[in-house]
Amino acid sequence: MQVPNNEKKILLHSCCAPCSCAILQSMIESGLKPTVYFYNPNISPREEYEHRKQEVVRYVQKMNIPFVDADYEADRWLETTKGHEEDAERGARCTLCFEMRLGKTAAYAAENGFKVFSTSLGISRWKDLEQVSRAGRRVAFLFPGIVFWEHNWRLMGGQAQMEKITREEKFYRQNYCGCIYSLRESIKRSLSKPSMVNPLDTK
């Protein structure tokens, strides 16, 4: 595992426990010292946010990994993405969302002695990995001396390990990205699926 500048101390932005678990395990096994930074003001409703956060907390406590709980700031996220309510997923709204979340992660890294930060966002097959990486590079540019680690966590069995740990830990598995707009799309997809009708049923 080649970390920029051979750094050992890593700030990992975590979006949820399933996406973070295999990454954290790999870091620990490689002798790295991760700190988890949880900043996801996009997640809606608040109950969903708290549920996802507590699953991350449960895992990092088990692994003895430091955890930083950032502010929720849902109103700020809505203002940041205003005008992009109808964007498709992987569109401009997602870019704004990634840059907001990773920007605050980079700022925390700069203020607290981290030289390298990364994110769990890119491990999911539902995300555009390059879109996530571009956001990370752009915000890192704003903080001299801070590097965004673009490691592709999907490789070398990363996703399979993610699934394995998620099953073992019985993590909560969300069925939408997090924001109210992705929830809307998830509901639309669910409603558009043909219902299963028993051909033996008669009226």
Cα–Cα distance measured from residue 51 to residue 36, given in angstroms and rounded to the nearest whole number: 16
Residue 124, sorted as left (phi over 0), alpha (psi -120 to 50) or beta, turns out to be beta
Q: Is residue 182 part of a domain?
A: yes
β-strands 33-38, 67-69 pairing: parallel
36: domain CATH number is 3.40.50.620
Cα–Cα distance measured from residue 114 to residue 135, given in angstroms and rounded to the nearest whole number: 18
The encoded tokens of residue 191 equal 């409603």
pLDDT of the residue at 31 = 97
User: The domain containing residue 152 runs over which residues?
Assistant: 7-189
Q: Is residue 200 part of a domain?
A: no
Q: Is residue 11 part of a domain?
A: yes
Using 50 as the pLDDT threshold, list the residues of the chain that sit under it: 196-203
Work out the angle between the directed axes of helices 92-111 and 129-141 (0-180°, nearest 10).
40
Q: Is residue 202 part of a domain?
A: no
pLDDT of the residue at 198 = 42
pLDDT of the residue at 193 = 66
pTM of the model: 0.91
pLDDT of the residue at 194 = 62
Label residue 82 exposed, middle or buried (CB < 10 Å: 0-12, 13-18, 19+): exposed
Q: Is residue 159 part of a domain?
A: yes
Q: Is residue 201 part of a domain?
A: no
Q: Is residue 196 part of a domain?
A: no
Report how many domains make up the chain.
Answer: 1
Nearest to 116 by CA among 9, 27, 1: 9
* Direct distance between the N- and C-terminal alpha carbons of the chain, in angstroms, rounded to an integer: 63
CA-based radius of gyration for the chain = 18
Please list the residues that pair with 33 across neighbouring strands: 9
Q: Which are the contacts of 120, defined by CB distance < 8 A and separation ≥ 6?
A: 12, 13, 14, 15, 16, 19, 20, 23, 153
The encoded tokens of residue 28 equal 């620990």
CB–CB of 108/4 below 8 Å? no
